[in-house]
Structure 1
Amino acid sequence: MKNFDATSTTDEVLNGMDLRGKRAFITGVSAGLGVETARALVAHGADVIGTVRDLDKAHGATKVVRDAAGQSGGSFEIVSMDLADLASVRVVSDAMVAAQKPFDLVVANAGVMATPFGKTKDGFELQFGTNVLGHYVLINRLAPLMREGGRVIVLSSNGHRFADIDLNDPNFEHTPYDPWVAYGRSKTGDALLAVAFDARHRHRGVRAASIHPGVIQTELIRHMEPEAFQAAFTAMNEQHLALGNPPFEVKTPAQGAATTIWAGIVADAETIGGRYCEDCHVGSILADDAIVSAFSVGVRPFAIDPARADALWKKAGELVGERF
């Protein structure tokens, strides 16, 4: 199998592949990585259903996907869903189950980052509720539709290194709120979701992995003032250089979505199952005391720990009132 890296694009990863007959479900296809993931799949003949919060906005943003589908014979459909509203997640997943059309790939792509303190419609801290609990309900409800050989890809981030999960205080009721700590908790939670899902479905040939797409300037930073983002980025890059690393390169959406496509379609299932992937390979596991910058590669052990994954799985079920 060809070796890909941080500079590989979605089209390079899928070069020569025919995905006709494959069906994918992707959350958050109205911008950035979601649009590019959907475009790459339909360009190779896949049938893709993507979720958006705003259908009007998404219609314009996804023209490139519809154009690619028209040329390849693939298909693309968008549905309205809000991960911060579990009733919305359940309506959409119920409709998918009622249709009884199987999926080969589910991508938990959508998310929010470093938001001011807020709550989901169900009363959960916004980042944990959206990024983790919304996807927990969704991927479990879609699980019966997954074909043997199917995969679930959950977008984590190297931001998981900002914080481990806190299952005693997931909603910051007793902890001072910090947007980056909340983001870190949610991305650790996303990585652990993949570990737990993989453990529960690998026996039937369905695997799951989490991925870090790299740093891409997408709408994910919409909650930050441009000056604040630039200041944070500059500070993180200075720390990165001080540790002896080469200058950091921001990825394009096509490079960022390449790891999703690699793990979801191309890579060996046993290689990626239950793992954290980045730059189109399985991420290295960092030592507990490893000193890293925000831009360094590697996963902290707490984000792929099976016991933590089981604990999160149980807690998520309690919080949403739905066990799987």
Structure 2
Amino acid sequence: MTASYGATSTTDDVLKGADLSGRRVLVTGVSAGLGVETARALAAHGAQVVGAARDLEKAERATKVVRADAANGGALELIQLDLADLTSVRACADALLAAGKPFDVIIANAGVMATPFGHTADGFETQFGTNHLGHFVLVNRIASLLKAGSRVIVLSSAGHRFADVNLDDPNFETTGYTPFGAYGRSKTANALFAVEFDRRHRDRGVRAAAVHPGGIQTELSRHMSDGDIEQLVEQINASRAEGAPAFEFKTIPQGAATSVWAAVTASADEIGGRYCEDCHVAAIVTGEADMMSGGVRPYAVDADNAKALWALSEELIQERF
């Protein structure tokens, strides 16, 4: 029963007994951390995994464990994808479309966090352009490969609480830039993308959901120093309610559990159009709350906000879906 899963559940826990033979899954960001573990767990249960990564040599080394653990016909193939360059994104999508093989699941896992101010190859603010627009183009371009009963899982974050999307200034041309403010905007955008994609495709049996993996120490924090991480943990603990336990990082298998739970184990109607964490659908929270206390802000699951972001995204990339 899904009710038995929680913050400490691992990928192996939520996939126990699952037979994914014959199922095909695309996972972005398989060169480290959550992407590798997600691919490993799925292949270990028989899934055919297509792993996308910017650096294929790095991904080849990182995914040796995926191939080693693959069972029941499970396998891994790699494809090049640089989410910060829409030429690369479109080339990846074109290659997948040319192959013509349908997907049962797409897990939009890759991303960057708290980067210095910068721009993607196409001139978009780095985090919004990479985390949101790159996946927006990729998933929409290959949406025809999603058959009835398939799912799209988009990694968001509790970091969405840092900021709503700014539809008037997505590239920080007039507002002041902060690394976590930009990260928050991009993670809210990820959640809203799942909301609108689900609305557009659920009538044909394709569902989408956003997930927060939890606080995990991976390469995602490479732009933060050890001191930055310690300070962030101190801020989280200082904001917690009196008597609440101190914040603890999840392990990577615990962090990837919600992605595979939403992709495989949970019912589609349960997670469709929703924001999930700790292997359950998150409650909507308002008012004061610390970053890691659980729940999703209303603006990150608001249908009108999602539609407006979709329209802006199409305008920015000059492509309609």
- TM > 0.5: yes
For residues 3-32 of structure 1, the C-alpha deviation after alignment (integer angstroms, 9 at most, x for no partner) is: 211111111101111100000001101111
CA contact (8 A) 2:153 2:194 kept: yes
Give 1:139-288 correspondences, 5 Å limit: 139-240=139-240, 242-287=241-286
| Structure 1 match to 2:49 | 48
**Are the equivalent residues in 2 in contact too, given 1:28–1:110 (CA < 8 A)?**
yes
Give the Å deviation of 1:53: 1.1
| Residue aligned with 1:216, SS | coil
Q: Which amino acid aligns with 2:129?
A: G
Per the alignment, residue 99 of structure 1 pairs with 99
Deviation of the 1:269 alpha carbon? 0.5
Q: Is the 8 A contact 1:243 1:293 kept in 2?
A: no
Partners of 1:38 and 1:153 lie apart in 2 by 13
Q: CA deviation at 1:249?
A: 2.0
Q: What secondary structure is seen at the aligned counterpart in 1 of 2:51? A: strand
- TM superposition shift of 1:243: 4.6
Alpha-carbon distance, 1:244 to partner: 4.0
Mapping of 1:64-83 within 5 angstroms?
64-69=65-70, 71-83=71-83
The residue aligned with 1:14 is 15
Alignment of 1:120-131 (within 5 A): 120-131=120-131
Provide the secondary structure at the position in 2 that maps to 1:291.
Answer: coil
Work out the CA distance in 2 between the residues paired with 1:110 and 1:243.
35
Structure 1, gaps ≥5 residues long:
none
1:2 positional shift = 3.8
Q: d(CA) in 1 for partners of 2:236 and 2:205?
A: 40
User: 2:235 & 2:176 partners in 1: Cα distance?
Assistant: 23
What TM-score, normalized to structure 2? 0.98
3-state SS in 2 of match to 1:148: strand
Over 3 Å counting, the alpha-carbon distance change for 1:58 and 1:285 in structure 2 is: same
Answer whether contact 2:158 2:296 (CA < 8 A) is retained: yes
* Residue 303 of structure 2 corresponds to residue 302 of structure 1: no
Q: Secondary structure at the match of 1:318?
A: helix
Partner residue of 2:33? Answer: 32
The residue that corresponds to 1:318 in the other structure is: 315
Query: 1 CA distance for matches of 2:255 and 2:63?
Result: 18
- Residues 176-208 of structure 1, C-alpha deviation per residue, up to 9 Å, x if partnerless? 111111000000000000000000000000000
CA distance in 2, matches of 1:73, 1:237: 45
In the aligned structure 2, how far is the partner of 1:2 from the partner of 1:28?
27
Kept in 2: contact 1:216–1:251 (CA 8 A):
yes
Residues in 1 aligned to 2:264 and 2:232: alpha-carbon distance in whole angstroms:
34
State the alpha-carbon separation in 2 of the partners of residues 228 and 273 from structure 1.
Answer: 35
Cα distance in 1 between the residues matched to 2:177 and 2:230: 22
**2 CA distance for matches of 1:31 and 1:10?**
16
The runs of 5 or more residues in structure 2 that have no matched partner are none
Report if the CA contact (8 A) 1:27-1:110 is conserved.
yes
Q: How far does residue 267 in structure 1 lie from its aligned partner after superposition?
A: 0.5
The residue identity in structure 2 corresponding to 1:55 is L
How much has 1:300 moved relative to structure 2? 0.4
Shift of 1:217: 0.2
Deviations 1:61-102 (A, max 9, x none): 111001112x44211011111000000000010110111100
**Partner Cα distance (2:249, 2:32) in 1:** 17
Q: Give the structure-1-normalised TM-score.
A: 0.97
Greater displacement, 192-201 / 220-229: 220-229
**Matches of 1:105 and 1:32, distance apart in 2:** 19
- Aligned amino acid, residue 273 of structure 1: G
CA RMSD of aligned residues (A): 0.9
Deviations 1:249-299 (CA, angstroms, capped at 9, x unpaired): 211111111100111111111110000000000001113xx2111111000
Structure 2 contact 46–74 (Cα < 8 Å) conserved: yes
Runs of 4+ in 1 over 3 A off after TM superposition: none
**Higher mean C-alpha deviation, range 302-311 or range 50-59:** 50-59
